[in-house]
Amino acid sequence: MSWRVWPFGKAPATLPDAPHALLADIEKGKRYLDEVDNGKWVYPACKRTASDAGADKGEVCNHTRLEAMRYLLTVPRGEFRLLAEPDSQAAILEAYLRQLPHDETVIEFTGNTMSDLAIAVVAGFNWLTHCASLAGADRRKFSGTLNRFRKVAVSAQKWWEMEGAKARYAQMLQAQQEPPLFLNLVWADYGRLAGEIAAARA
């Protein structure tokens, strides 16, 4: 029997790498957002009281982060998936760093994918700042949020511009380390801020 033939029925499916597994988990979060639209949850999560469903600290944190991700999830044609693609990082970071800050939580897309991703990321940060105000979080921890994240994005841009970036990226995945994909950067910072919001209202 050829070694190429899997002897136990279908060959096992290849597991997604960490960034695409995260992407799949985020997409599952659409269910929460659909349930919000159907009135199942008090929204935003930061306004829940102890008697409301999903009022524990962990769930408020998770739901608040998904609320911020909502803007990316609504970018046309599902282009938010590009955030997990190493070949797209240079263009995404360039567009983000070119994007002027705005304070909107209601946005319109332009039809330019990279610009729309940048607009959505900024809107997500604005949503978290809005929720922080509602929850009574420490303003000092949210002041300058966009400026701090811009510095993170600049560092990531330099990382991807260095020779051999894609090889280093593959090595980091192999070692189960977290490369500076824009997806990872946004998810981590949204999570940090959502945690502060959840802690403030706990």
pLDDT at 82 over 50: yes
Rounded to two decimals, the pTM is 0.91
Tokens of 91: 């263009």
Q: How far, in Å, are 112, 132, 188, 192 from residue 195 at the CA level?
A: 32, 10, 10, 5
Please check whether residue 93 is in contact with residue 159, taking contact to mean a CB–CB distance below 8 angstroms. no
Reported as a single tens digit per residue, the pLDDT across 27-44 is 999 999 999 999 999 999
Q: What is the pLDDT of residue 192?
A: 97
pLDDT at 11 over 50: no
pLDDT at 7 over 70: no
Task: List, in sequence order, the alpha helices (H) in 55-112.
Answer: 57-73, 89-98
**Could you tell me the pLDDT band of residue 8, with boundaries at 50, 70 and 90?**
very low
Please check whether residue 107 is in contact with residue 123, taking contact to mean a CB–CB distance below 8 angstroms. yes
Contacts of range 35-38, beta carbons closer than 8 Å, 24 or more positions apart: 36/67
Q: What is the pLDDT of residue 31?
A: 95
Q: What is the pLDDT of residue 1?
A: 39
